[in-house]
Amino acid sequence: MNRPFVLLSAAMSIDGYLDDATDERLVLSNADDWDRVDEVRAGCDAILVGANTIRRDNPRLVIRSQRRRARRVAAGLPADPIKVTLTRSGDLDPEAAFFTVGDGLKLVYGDLDEALADLARRGVARLMVEGGSTVHTEFLTRDLADELHLVVAPFFVGDSDAPRFVRDGRFPWTPARPATLAQVRAIGNVVLHRYLLSQSEVDRHWLTAAVELSRNCPPSSTAFAVGAVVVDARGEVITTGYSRETDDRVHAEEAALAKLDPADPRLATATLYSSLEPCSRRASRPRTCTQLILDAGIPRVVFALREPPTFVDGQGAELLTEAGVTVTERPDLGDAVRQVNDALT
Ligand SMILES: NC(=O)c1ccc[n+]([C@@H]2O[C@H](COP(=O)([O-])OP(=O)(O)OC[C@H]3O[C@@H](n4cnc5c(N)ncnc54)[C@H](OP(=O)(O)O)[C@@H]3O)[C@@H](O)[C@H]2O)c1
């Protein structure tokens, strides 16, 4: 399905509640965190909440900071993101702040798939989802979320009549295939956890780490600067390497794999991230990096840039694919690789 990038955002108590069971709105955050949320909102094209959140909390869903509003307008955007809600019952008060606050577009949908497809058609590239439980559960169990910002407030609610962050369901992230933790940050007395949920975001994260690693390469006028990171199925980095790390000829993938026992069982489910396509011709070594990856039994390779034909005509991607390896190319990160290899590409 063609859909926007989906960022889920929630604040919960230590015991996982989004609210208490009273009619009063429970404050789970602090001023600095609200300011962070305001910045995240300002970077999105639309904000979605479920109809029950509108009925219970009456949120305004607008950008508070005048500076951020002005920045959006200067960039040719509306001052506020589009407001979006989902309802089957249609039971929404036209006087709710959702409808009455702000001049921006307000959209009401009766179906999630229809909402996502229509938002994509309208050019919404980034959608922020701010709850409540039912809506978060639906996005997560249907694997429709790319990133999660989860804030934990330092107290308990302890009342199972209150809504939890999510309801029961089958979630794609399990102990065997966990989400990728990208960031943890204390904001005053609350803690922000940023999780990457979709394969695309996880790939971007590790490939960016590989590109960053390539900045450590000793300079060379005759070889590329490349970084490689190998991550197992549980999202743990099992080895890393970069060009010329251990001798002046060693390649990034070679340096990384040399640090592992070839019989390491984690290799069988690992993904190798390399800033550049693995080499397929090698004068100085008996085995190419493509061959080393095949010999290690790594089933998936992600790289940013095809090997530029500066030195040799690379066919690593084709050879790996022919051998049954899943190869993903991320040209969206190519500029960063070109920048590191400025003199050579
Ligand atoms: N702490 C936080 O970060 C945070 C953020 C937001 C909300 N909350 C809390 O979360 C609670 C609300 O959560 P909730 O689970 O009760 O409600 P919710 O997720 O806000 O809304 C659920 C409602 O959305 C509509 N809906 C959901 N999925 C739909 C779909 N696929 N198609 C059409 N309509 C759909 C339905 O509306 P109809 O019933 O109208 O059909 C459903 O009853 C409140 O207590 C609020 O304070 C906390």
Distance CA 53, CA 44 (A): 20
Same domain (yes/no): 119, 153 = yes
Residues 6+ apart with CB under 8 A from 275: 207, 210, 211, 213, 214, 226, 227, 228, 252, 303, 304, 305, 333, 336, 337, 340
Please state the atom number of ligand 1 nearest to the C-alpha of residue 136. Answer: 19
- Is residue 53 within 6 Å of ligand 1 at its C-beta? yes
pLDDT of residue 307: 80
CA 311, 317, 318, 320 torsion: positive or negative? positive
pLDDT of residue 285: 87
**What DSSP character marks residue 268?**
G
Asked whether the beta carbons of 128 and 9 are under 8 A apart, the reply is yes
Same domain (yes/no): 184, 295 = no
If phi > 0 it is left, if psi is from -120 to 50 it is alpha, else beta; for residue 340 that is alpha
pLDDT of residue 293: 98
Same domain (yes/no): 182, 283 = no
Q: Phi and psi (nearest 5°) for 224? A: -75, 155
- Is residue 112 within 6 Å of ligand 1 at its C-beta? yes
Distance CA 205, CA 100 (A): 39
Q: Is residue 345 part of a domain?
A: no
pLDDT of residue 123: 97
Interval between CA 311 and ligand 1 midpoint (Å): 57
pLDDT of residue 150: 98
Last residue of a domain, one of 177, 197, 217: 197
pLDDT of residue 221: 86
Last residue of a domain, one of 179, 197, 215: 197
- Is residue 51 within 6 Å of ligand 1 at its C-beta? yes
CATH number, domain containing residue 130: 3.40.430.10
pLDDT of residue 308: 74
Interval between CA 166 and ligand 1 midpoint (Å): 11
Q: Is residue 256 part of a domain?
A: yes
Please state the atom number of ligand 1 nearest to the C-alpha of residue 57. Answer: 47
Distance CA 145, CA 176 (A): 19
Distance CA 89, CA 111 (A): 11
Low-confidence ranges of the chain (pLDDT < 70): 310-313, 343-345
Interval between CA 87 and ligand 1 midpoint (Å): 9
